[in-house]
């Protein structure tokens, strides 16, 4: 099956395999994608409103000026995506039990976004507004938080993270032991 139409509404797509496809300038409203392979697809200027991606491969997708409004990613793989290039009109997405490696969320205002139980490795959040974001039980190895607003963010159960409390606003953020000790690593102190 190919996606030749410009607009799709209230459709379920299962098992689509469209790697390297040009899916630009399309609109998907209330659609569910299950076990679809969209590796290396171009979703530039495409709109997703109230859509779900379940167990999909979205690695190396191009999402320049892509609109993501009320989009849920569950058990999906997203590697190398530049979310910093999406449309900033309305940004509303969440991630659950997904892989988000080598992605860029730099300079985005994504307050209250959920990254629950995700593997978020080597990902950039440079100058992002992450107020109230939920990183509960996430693996954040190599992920960079620099000049971020992490006020009221939740890192309970998160592992392998480093957040510089001088370089980021961490007021009222929630952390759990023993990982919270990583916040002190910048100060070169010995904890006994």
Convert the pLDDT of each residue in 23-57 to its tens digit: 999 999 999 999 999 999 999 999 999 999 999 99
Distance CA 80, CA 41 (A): 12
Flag whether pLDDT at 1 surpasses 70.
no
Handedness of CA 78, 84, 85, 89 (dihedral sign): positive
Site of tokens 């939920």: 134
Question: CATH 2.160.20.80: does it fit domain 1-94?
Answer: yes
Flag whether pLDDT at 17 surpasses 90.
yes
pLDDT mean over 85-114: 97
Domain ranges (residues) in the chain:
1-94, 105-183
Superfamily, domain 105-183: E3 ubiquitin-protein ligase SopA (2.160.20.80)
> What pLDDT does residue 192 have?
64
Query: What phi, psi does 42 have (nearest 5°)?
Result: -105, 110
Same CATH fold assignment for domains 1-94 and 105-183: yes
pLDDT digits 0-9 by tens, 57-79: 999 999 999 999 999 999 999 99
């Amino acid at each position: 099956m190919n996606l030749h139409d410009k607009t799709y509404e209230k459709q379920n797509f299962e098992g689509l395999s469209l790697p390297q496809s040009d899916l630009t300038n399309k609109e998907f409203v209330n659609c569910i994608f299950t076990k679809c392979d969209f590796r290396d697809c171009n979703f530039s200027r495409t709109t997703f409103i109230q859509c779900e991606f379940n167990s999909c491969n979205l690695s190396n997708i191009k999402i320049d000026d892509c609109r993501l409004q009320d989009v849920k990613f569950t058990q999906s793989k997203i590697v190398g995506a530049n979310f910093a290039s999406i449309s900033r009109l309305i940004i509303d997405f969440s991630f659950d039990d997904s892989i988000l490696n080598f992605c860029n969320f730099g300079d985005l205002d994504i307050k209250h976004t959920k990254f629950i139980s995700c593997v978020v490795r080597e990902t950039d959040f440079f100058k992002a507004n992450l107020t109230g974001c939920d990183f509960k039980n996430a693996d954040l190895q190599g992920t960079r938080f620099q000049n971020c607003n992490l006020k009221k963010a939740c890192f309970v159960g998160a592992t392998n993270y480093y957040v510089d409390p001088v370089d980021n606003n961490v007021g009222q953020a929630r952390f759990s032991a023993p990982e919270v000790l990583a916040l002190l690593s910048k100060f070169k102190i010995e904890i006994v």
